[in-house]
Amino acid sequence: MSETLRILSWNVNGLRAAAGKGFTRWLGRSGADIVGVQEVRALPDDLPSGLQPKTLDGRWHVHYQPAERKGYSGVGLFSRRKPDALETALGARRFDCEGRLQIARFGRLVVVNGYFPNGNGKDRDNGRVAYKLAFYRTLFERVEGLRRSGYRVLVMGDFNTAHTEIDLARPKGNKNTSGFLPRERAELDRWLAAGWVDSFRHFEPGPGHYSWWSQRMGARERNVGWRIDYVLASPAAMRFVRSAFIQHQVRGSDHCPIGVEIDAAALGRSR
C-alpha cells in the first residue's frame, strides 16, 4: 500500500454523459484510491459497458446507489480496496429513495459519499430547503455517531451550499438564492462548530476557488463560480490529511473534481 491515499469526489452531472466526455480515461489516470461520484442519474444496467462493475473488476471495486426515480440523483463509489462495510440508508424513506448516500468503511477510516439536496423547488422557489436541511441534520447525527465510535470520518460530495462570501463569485446577488441562504450556511456553521474541518479551507484561505459554474454565458471561462463541493474531515481524520485540492482544469461536468490526500495510516486496523 502506498504511504498516502488519494480520495476524490466529483458531481459528474450524469455519468453516461460524463463517460462520453472522458470520465473513464480520467478515472484511470486519476491516481485515486477512492472516488465518489454524485448525480449519476442512471440505473447501473444503463451505464456504458466500460463503467459496469464486471468490466472494472480487478481494477476497481464499484458500487452504485441509484434513486428510485429514473434519471435522477444517484451516487457511485470506486475503490481500489473493497470496503469492509458499505451502507446506503439513513433510515428515512424520504431520503433513501433518492439515492444520495454511501457510507464505506475501510478499517478505521469511513468515507461518506453524499449528494446533498438542492433547495430549489420545481419553480425555483426554495421549496426544498426544509428537505435539504433535514437531510443535513439527519446525516450529521449519523456521522457524529461514527465519530463517537472511534472512526476517522471523511464526508465528501456536493453539499449544494457555498459556506462564506469568498465561496462564490457574486455573493451579494445570491443572498436569496438556495445554496447561499443564511439558514443553509448556518447548517455548515454548525458542522464546523462541532469540530468538522473544511479540508480545502484548512490549506487555502483565499478567494477565487470554485467547484461549480453555470453552463451559461461563459461562466466557467470567466471563473464566475461557486464552491459547493467539500471534503469535511472529523478531527481524528484531519490529523491524517496531507493536502486538499480542487481540479478546476478537469472538464466533463458543470462541477470539477475535488479531493484530499491522506496518510494511509488512517486506515489503522480493521475491527
Please indicate whether residue 158 is annotated as part of the active site.
yes
3-state secondary structure 103-172: EEEECCEEEEEEECCCCCCCCCCCCCHHHHHHHHHHHHHHHHHHHHCCCEEEEEEECCCCCCHHHECCCH
Whole-number Cα distances in Å, 135 to 85, 130, 233: 22, 9, 18
- Report residue 50 as a C-alpha cell: 466500460
Cα Rg of the chain (Å, integer): 17
Pairing of strands 212-213, 225-226: antiparallel
Residue indicated by cell numbers 448556518: 186
88 residue type, one letter = T
Distance between CA atoms of 178 and 187, rounded to whole angstroms?
Answer: 13
Task: Please identify which of the residues 33, 158, 198, 229 carries the catalytic annotation.
Answer: 158
The residues pairing with 62 across neighbouring beta strands, listed in sequence order, are 78
The answer to whether 75 and 36 are in contact (CB under 8 A) is yes
User: Which residues are designated catalytic?
Assistant: 158
